[in-house]
């Protein structure tokens, strides 16, 4: 009984750890992951991230207005994100 519990615990731990090793293995062998192909990095506190954050904040602030023209909001956001270098943020 004790052996079965230990075996099950070991297999569960292996199942949780295996995907992380597989991802690192893909990174080491040079396979392209979707994380490395991102052109717009909005995670850091740099100019591009701050600009993209302002575009999103403005869009969200005006999106819930009763009289808002949503097509104009989307086009304004696309223009703002394009200016920041992140047009992929404005997928409609």
Q: What 3 state SS string does 14-67 have?
A: HHHHHHHHHHHHHHHHCCCCCCCCCCCCCCCCCHHHHHHHHHHHHHHHHHCCCC
Residue range 30-89, pLDDT digits in tens: 555 555 555 666 666 678 888 888 888 888 888 888 788 888 988 898 999 888 888 887
**Residue written as tokens 């047009």?**
87
How high is the pLDDT of residue 12?
84
How high is the pLDDT of residue 43?
67
pLDDT interval class at 90 (50, 70, 90): confident
CB 24 within 8 A of CB 30: no
42/52 Cα distance (integer angstroms): 7
């Amino acid at each position: 009984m004790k052996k079965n519990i230990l075996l099950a615990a070991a297999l569960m731990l292996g199942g949780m750890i295996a995907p992380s090793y597989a991802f690192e293995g893909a990174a080491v062998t040079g396979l392209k992951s979707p994380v490395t192909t991102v052109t717009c990095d909005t995670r850091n506190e740099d100019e591009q991230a701050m600009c993209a954050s302002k575009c999103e904040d403005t869009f969200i602030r005006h999106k819930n207005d009763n009289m808002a023209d949503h097509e104009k909001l989307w086009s304004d956001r696309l223009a703002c994100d394009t200016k920041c270098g992140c047009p992929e943020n404005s997928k409609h």
